[in-house]
Amino acid sequence: MCIAAFGQIVEINGKTAVVSFRGALKKVSIMLLSKIQLGDTVVVHAGFATEIVKDQQKVYRDIVASDAYARQLLDAIEKESKRFNERKLKIMNFCGTHENTIAKYSLRSLLPPNIQLLSGPGCPVCVTPEEEIAMGLELATRKNVIITTFGDLLRVPTRWGSLEQCRLGGADVRIVYDISQALDLARKTKAEVVHFAVGFETTAPGTACAIQEAGNIENFSILSSHRITSPAMEYVMEHSKMDILLCPGHVAMVIGTAPFEELAQKYNLPCVISGFEPVDILQSILQAMCQFGKESSTAINQYENVVKTEGNPLAKKLIEETFTLKDATWRGVGVLPESRLVCRKEYSRFDAELKFGLTMPQIKATEENACMCGDVLMGMAPRYCPNFGGGCRPEHPAGPCMVTGEGACSIAYINRG
C-alpha cells in the first residue's frame, strides 16, 4: 500500500487521466489535484495522482547521477572524452525511445560539454510524408470506408488537413492499438476497412501476420507507410558529419546485427545497438567512444540480452514473404531508394493504393511550409524552431514531431526546464 510511482500525464478526460509509467499506460483519478496539464509528472498512489512533481528533470537526473553503475560510466566517459582534446563528438540516435530517455533523465547535462547527442529520423510517424497521409484523407471521404490507424497519426497536420479533422467532419476514422483489431472489424462489417499501417521493422511483422491471416476477406486492405531503417541511416552517414550512431534496439531485435555491421564497415563509423535504459545509453556511448578513431569500425551490440545476431528469423521471413521494397519519400530527407514496404504481387488485393486507385498528390518545390520538422529529423534542436512552444505545442501541433510521443519536439517540450 505504501508504494508510489512517478508517471507522466499523456491524456486528460474529465476527472481521470491516462498516465504513462515508462510506456505502460494506466487510467488514474486526478480528483486530488486542482490544476494539471498534459506532460506533468505526477506521483500516483493507489489509483490516485496525489502530487505534481515540480522539477521532474531534477528527479530523473538525480536517479541517474546517484546510481553507482551510472556514475562509473559517466566518470569513464569523462576520462575518455579528454582523449578528443575538446573536439565535439556528434552522436545521433535513431529511435524516439532513445531520445525520450536522453531528455527525461537529462543525460545531455550529465555528459561532458564536447559530446553532442542529436535526434535523427527514427520516429516513423514523423518521417511519413504529407503525400501518403493525403491518400488516407482521400479515402476517408469515400462512402462505406472505415479507416483505422494508431492514435499518433490521427493528429498529424498536413496542408490538406488531418485524419482527426476528417473524423470530426463525419468520416469513419478509428483508433486501434494493433492491426488485429482492424482485421476483426473487417470480419464484422460489410464496409471496406483500410488500416493505415505505419512503423519500421518492429511493426511490419504484425502487419504481415494480419495480411496472411486475412485469407479471403475481401473488405480488408492496408495503406502501407512502413519504412525500413537502413536507408535513412545510410543517408545520414553520407550527408552529415555524425561521428557515432546509436542504433534502435527494437529494430535490431527483428533484423539482427548484420545490416548495422555493413553500415559500420562501409562508412567506418561506430554503430552501437543500444537498449533504452539510461545506463544502456551511457554504456553505448562509452563503447562507441572507445572504438572511435580506430582504423576500422564494427557494430557493437550493447543490447545483447535482447538482440541476437540473426534477429528474429520468423519475423524476417514474414516481412520478406509479404512485402517488397520501393523508393519512397521521407519527410525532411527526400526520396530514399527501396525504403518503403508495400504488398507483394501475390498479396496485391490487400494493397489499398491499387484497390482504390489512389495516387499521391504532387507538391511543388516552391510551396512553403513553416514547419521545421524536417530539420529536426536531421538533428536540429527543436528549440531553434521559431514555432517551438509558441505556435507549435502538443495541443496545437504544427508538425508531426510535436504530435507523437516519439517526436523530438514533443519530447523536448514535455521535458523542457
Q: Which residue has the cell 486530488?
A: 32
Please state, in angstroms and rounded to a whole number, the distance separating the CA atoms of residues 348 and 355.
8
Residue 368 clears pLDDT 60, i.e. is over it: no
Contact 38, 45 (CB under 8 A): no
Contact 148, 120 (CB under 8 A): no
Weakest mean pLDDT among 38-47, 203-212, 221-230:
38-47
pLDDT computed for residue 386 by the predictor: 93
Percent of the chain residues past pLDDT 70, beyond the cut: 96
Grid cell at residue 11: 491524456
Domains of the chain listed by start with CATH number: 5-54 (2.30.30.140), 56-417 (3.40.50.11740)
Residue 366 clears pLDDT 80, i.e. is over it: no
In this structure, are strands 5-13 and 41-45 parallel, antiparallel, or unpaired?
antiparallel
- CA torsion angle 401 406 339 328 (round to 10): -20
Contact 152, 405 (CB under 8 A): yes
Mean pLDDT in residue range 275-301: 93
Average pLDDT, the chain: 91
- For the stretch 15-72, pLDDT in tens is 999 998 877 888 999 998 888 888 888 889 888 988 888 776 776 777 787 788 999 9
Strand partners, 351: 222
Grid cell at residue 235: 543517408
Closest CA to 120 of 339, 373, 413: 373
pLDDT computed for residue 249 by the predictor: 95
Mean pLDDT in residue range 178-191: 96
Top-confidence residue, 151 or 381 = 381
pLDDT computed for residue 2 by the predictor: 61
Q: Which residue has the cell 489499398?
A: 352
Grid cell at residue 225: 507507410
* pTM to 2 decimal places: 0.86
Percent of the chain residues past pLDDT 90, beyond the cut: 73
- For the stretch 386-406, pLDDT in tens is 999 999 998 899 999 999 889
Interaxial angle between packed helices 68-81 and 278-291, expressed in degrees from 0 to 180 and rounded to the nearest 10: 30
pLDDT computed for residue 367 by the predictor: 53
Task: Please give the sequence-ordered ranges of beta strands (E in DSSP) within 141-204, or none if there are none.
Answer: 145-149, 173-175, 192-199
